[in-house]
Amino acid sequence: MQYRTLGRTGVQVSTLALGAMNFGAIGRTTQEEATALVDAALEGGVNVIDTADMYGGGESEEMVGRAIAGRRDDIVLATKAGMPMGGERNHCGGSRRWLVTALEDSLRRLGVDHVDLYQIHRWDPDTGDEETLSALTDLQRAGKIRYFGSSTFPAYRIVQAQWAAREHHLGRYVTEQPSYSILQRGIEAHVLPVAEEYGLGVLVWSPLASGWLSGAIRAGREITTSRSAFMPERFDTALPANRARLDAVERLAGVADEAGLTMIQLALGFVTAHPAVTGALVGPRTPDHLHAQLAAADTVLPADVLDAIDAIVAPGVDLAPHEKHDTPPALLDPSLRRR
């Protein structure tokens, strides 16, 4: 396992981090299975576990808490807040009212008195940066969080939040957690340069592109991954974007074979090669999945392999731009762009 410094925090983190979204109902994972995954990850050198309050309505946090009991100090523990929790209109977003409550709920579920990294799951256009940063700064000063960061923020919102922190003398986001893979490279054009400019740690999610780069999806095979069962439209090869992904996967498989690598090694080695990226989140459902991913922990792609990848998916290009999670609201809601 390789380790890198998380932005400018001084905290050393593994280049592969264990994402716990699949713990519980989402991944049909029992507590025993989740604990086994945590055990194997820690044994393999992983020291970061990332979850969120909305994963399984809090179930993931509860399972993580039980799995890490007795070894909390050896783990960089991260969670997130901001996505809706239930149907109450104020149980979401970045307001002080909600974040204070959401953190207390997360600490209770995790069975800890603090988290190392508390992340705003998505930018909340209804809440000002000063409001959110002020609440996070107070929670940090109270010792309930060590650092705070953002997740899937557009580049311009990252810049705005850094400005607001300086303008109002508040703590700042020290990390960003964007989606990034060989098939979705758009953040290379804006988010990653901004992260480098501000010295942010970057923990990327979906480096296997929801399974497209796992090696399980190939031309001529039926797609039977767990993600395809509840998001079938993302894997329907009758759609042009999915055909483009499948074509890219076939060409990438050739690159991996020629280099003597698995598709997982190629995919994880690619995202961790970018100088702005600190580490990649992997979200295994089974020990076999995890061991295949841990096998990529020390993968360093040579320049010719990186060049071959660039020739298949150009730098800064998203093969499925409609699946982006950081699209400005006005592009999604006509009422916000028309008088």
Residues identified as active-site: 55
In angstroms, what CA-CA distances link 291 with 20, 43, 120, 240, 288? 15, 11, 30, 33, 5
Burial group, residue 88, by CB count within 10 angstroms (0-12, 13-18, 19+): exposed
Give which of 27, 98, 34, 106 is closest to 63, Cα–Cα. 34
Identify whether the C-beta of residue 46 lies closer than 8 Å to the C-beta of residue 40: no
The DSSP 8-state label assigned to residue 239 in this structure reads S
Pairing type for strands 3-5 and 12-14 reads antiparallel
Orientation of helix 59-68 relative to helix 31-43, angle to 10°: 50
Report residue 147 as tokens: 């650092």
- Give the phi and the psi of residue 178 in degrees, each rounded to 5: -100, 165
The closest alpha carbon to 36, from 292, 286, 296, belongs to 286
Q: How far apart are CA 84 and CA 68, in angstroms?
A: 26
Q: How is residue 302 annotated by DSSP?
A: -
- Beta strand 3-5 with 48-50 is unpaired
